[in-house]
């Protein structure tokens, strides 16, 4: 296990962790996005800080919960 040295590395690690959570469930982040009417680019933009604000924060929370298997 390596430690993130920069904020960008931490963000990338969090995004990869979310993607891995979907793979562990037998699906993908892209498939989840399509099923939930969300563009994958919006998910990426929210995670990487290109899209900010309440909507982005809510999307990150929703995606992260789904990646953990929460059915909210």
Total domains in the chain come to 1
2 assigned to some structural domain: no
Q: Give residue-wise pLDDT tens across range 24-67.
A: 999 999 999 999 999 999 999 999 999 999 999 999 999 999 99
Collect all residues with Cβ–Cβ distance below 8 Å to 29 and sequence separation of at least 6. 18, 19, 22, 40, 43, 63, 67
35 assigned to some structural domain: yes
Q: Give residue-wise pLDDT tens across range 7-23.
A: 888 899 999 999 999 99
Which pLDDT band holds residue 5 (cuts at 50, 70, 90)? confident
For residue 64, how many C-alpha atoms fall within 13 Å in the half-sphere facing its CB?
A: 12
Domain that holds residue 41: 7-67
1 assigned to some structural domain: no
How far are the Cα atoms of 2, 4, 33 from residue 59, in angstroms, in the given order?
27, 23, 10
Q: pTM of the predicted model, to two decimals?
A: 0.84
51 assigned to some structural domain: yes
- The radius of gyration computed from the CA coordinates of the chain, to the nearest angstrom, equals 12
């Amino acid at each position: 296990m390596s430690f993130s040295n920069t904020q960008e590395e931490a963000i990338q690690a969090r995004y990869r962790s979310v993607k891995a959570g979907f793979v562990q469930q037998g699906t993908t982040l892209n498939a989840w996005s399509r099923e939930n009417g969300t563009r994958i680019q919006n998910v990426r933009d929210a995670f990487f800080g290109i899209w900010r604000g309440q909507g982005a924060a809510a999307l990150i929370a929703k995606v992260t919960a789904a990646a953990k298997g929460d059915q909210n």
